[in-house]
Amino acid sequence: MTSVARRPGPAAPVRSQVPGVKPQAVRSKAKPGFVLGVIAVGAVIVLALWWQDTTSVHGLGEWLTGAGRILGLLCGYGVVVLVALMARLPPVERGVGTDRLARWHAMGGRYVVSIVVAHGLLIVWGYAVTARTNVVNESGALLTQYPDVLMATVAGFLLLGVGIVSMRAARRRMRYETWYYLHFYTYLAIALAFSHQFADGASFINSLAARFWWSAMYLTVALLVLWYRVAVPWRDYVRHGFRVAGIRDEAPGVVSVYIRGNRLEELAAEPGQFFRWRFLDRSLWWSSHPYSLSAAPGRDMLRITVKDLGDHSRALRALRPGTRVWAEGPFGAFTANSYAPSRGAVLLAGGVGITPLRAMFASLPGRVTLIYRARSWRDIVFREELDAIARARGGRVHYVVGSRAELGTDPLTAPVLLSLVPGLHKQEAYVCGPAGMTESAVSALLAAGVPRRRIHYESFEF
Ligand SMILES: Cc1cc2nc3c(=O)[nH]c(=O)nc-3n(C[C@H](O)[C@H](O)[C@H](O)COP(=O)(O)OP(=O)(O)OC[C@H]3O[C@@H](n4cnc5c(N)ncnc54)[C@H](O)[C@@H]3O)c2cc1C
């Protein structure tokens, strides 16, 4: 592996592989199928516990209440799964990928909110049928007479609210941070609903096994969240002492930030991965943003390269050397783990999606071709570095520059890719860029005969 990129000012040389560090490839990874399997097994256990505790069901009222209870249990379980998906467990982050986890979380959230509404409606209806009253009276009775139902109702509305603000139309209208912090109400909702399960849930009142299983599940997930989202970042902050080392202009609106730290090899970060960065100065300390490593990590230096697309990314230009940094990571499954050097690789970058691919271009062994799509030559970042890496490693860079209108055609079709990369169908492909470009690049790669399992892509949107 070779890295020849020159780095400015205070930076120490980047190494693509740090001696003595266990390569990430041999670190544990949970494959998507395995994670989905574990989630399914958990759901089966939840239903089995309900089955065991339900001896008989008579009449419409009990059927409705039973269906409501099952949905309630699935909702309680679903919330735990949603939180666990975001607990930043390293094997899951590495094996599934943060962007896919975020998609699962968003999809699961929609199911959970729908289930919580159906749970409430079915329980009220079932109780009303059994008590031979109407649903309005029954709702009043449930809210006033049953322990913790009021709290659970508040929890249900909180979940519904979080679901509504997460809908695309609503989310687009608010700042990312506003949406993110509103999400924390989910934890309050879980706390409020938890006691309701134990106090009112028929499956819990008489079953020690159910009480044990559910308590263990909630406790485990709470500990994982505390460990991986609070304790580990704190430990890394103290251990590595991250600080801004310098800033460098790369292109109009694009800067690189160099971050110095101690014993960085212990992080075992890989080219292609990203960290969540919190720069501890007066204006930025309250928000953390994901940025990929744009150079292979060194023992004492990391580099990110950022395009100004909003408040945070724009403010990085003004960071002062010495600013302390809280870095969480490394995250992401966009790495070369499944790559066999004998096959060779094609890297397809669009716009600022070049950042992780720049790091991979310098470090992937074998025959590697980089195709870099940009609207104009001004937008090309790292040109000198990329050309130097290509020369040093005997790789190739193709710059595909210009808008579709200027080029008069889609520049990323299968025939174009095949003409740029001989033997493409045997190679591993890595794609990073805007959503539209990624979609058409993936279709073109498939049409060019690259099997789906060899196409890897990362989205810069969660
Ligand atoms: C895995 C990953 C790697 C990335 N790597 C790079 C990189 O190497 N270089 C680069 O320039 N950009 C990268 N991005 C994109 C970068 O994170 C956003 O452009 C940046 O956070 C925008 O913040 P802002 O305040 O400047 O803009 P805003 O206007 O606040 O946000 C613009 C959009 O960025 C997204 N975003 C904003 N804040 C966050 C956040 N805290 N977490 C997640 N998404 C957010 C939202 O979709 C939002 O709509 C990456 C994103 C992801 C998810």
Q: What's the gap in Å between 360 CA and the centre of ligand 1? A: 20
Strand partners, 393: none
Residue 286 belongs to some domain of the structure: yes
Instruction: State if residue 179 touches ligand 1 by the CB under 6 angstroms criterion.
Output: no
Q: What's the gap in Å between 64 CA and the centre of ligand 1? A: 45
Instruction: State if residue 72 touches ligand 1 by the CB under 6 angstroms criterion.
Output: no
* pLDDT over 70 (residue 103): yes
Distance of CA 330 to the CA centre of its chain: 12
- The answer on 49 and 100 residing in a single domain is yes
- The answer on 264 and 304 residing in a single domain is yes
Flag whether the pTM goes above 0.85. Answer: yes
Instruction: State if residue 309 touches ligand 1 by the CB under 6 angstroms criterion.
Output: yes
What rounded mean pLDDT belongs to the chain? 89
Q: What's the gap in Å between 312 CA and the centre of ligand 1? A: 8
Residue 207 belongs to some domain of the structure: yes
Number of domains observed in the structure of the chain: 2
Confidence band for 460, pLDDT divided at 50, 70 and 90: confident
CATH (domain of 298): 2.40.30.10
Q: In what order do the strands lie in the sheet with 345-350?
A: 396-401, 368-374, 345-350, 428-432, 455-458
- The answer on 91 and 230 residing in a single domain is yes
Residue 358 belongs to some domain of the structure: no
- The answer on 152 and 253 residing in a single domain is no
Confidence band for 8, pLDDT divided at 50, 70 and 90: very low
State mean pLDDT over 213-236: 95
Residue 362 belongs to some domain of the structure: no
- Is 25 in a helix, a strand, or coil? helix
Could you read off the pLDDT of 31-54 as tens digits, one per residue?
999 999 999 999 999 888 888 877
Q: Which atom of ligand 1 is nearest to the CA of 332?
A: 1
For residue 273, the enclosing domain spans 242-331
- The answer on 207 and 256 residing in a single domain is no
* Residue that finishes a domain, picked among 288, 309, 331: 331
* Residue that finishes a domain, picked among 202, 235, 268: 235
Instruction: State if residue 306 touches ligand 1 by the CB under 6 angstroms criterion.
Output: yes
Residue 67 belongs to some domain of the structure: yes
Confidence band for 63, pLDDT divided at 50, 70 and 90: very high
- The answer on 72 and 218 residing in a single domain is yes
Q: What's the gap in Å between 305 CA and the centre of ligand 1? A: 12
Strand partners, 283: none
pLDDT at site 107: 95
Residue 138 belongs to some domain of the structure: yes
* Residue that finishes a domain, picked among 181, 202, 235: 235
Q: Are 228 and 90 in contact (CB under 8 A)?
A: yes
* pLDDT over 60 (residue 267): yes
- The answer on 259 and 206 residing in a single domain is no
Residue 1 belongs to some domain of the structure: no
- The answer on 249 and 229 residing in a single domain is no
Instruction: State if residue 462 touches ligand 1 by the CB under 6 angstroms criterion.
Output: yes
Q: What's the gap in Å between 144 CA and the centre of ligand 1? A: 46
Confidence band for 75, pLDDT divided at 50, 70 and 90: very high
Closest CA to 71 of 131, 111, 127: 111
Confidence band for 277, pLDDT divided at 50, 70 and 90: very high
Could you read off the pLDDT of 296-330 as tens digits, one per residue?
999 999 999 999 999 999 999 999 999 999 999 99
Rounded to the nearest 5 degrees, what angle is found at the Cα of 134, between the Cα atoms of 133 and 138? 80
Atom 9 (ligand 1): residue with closest C-alpha? 306
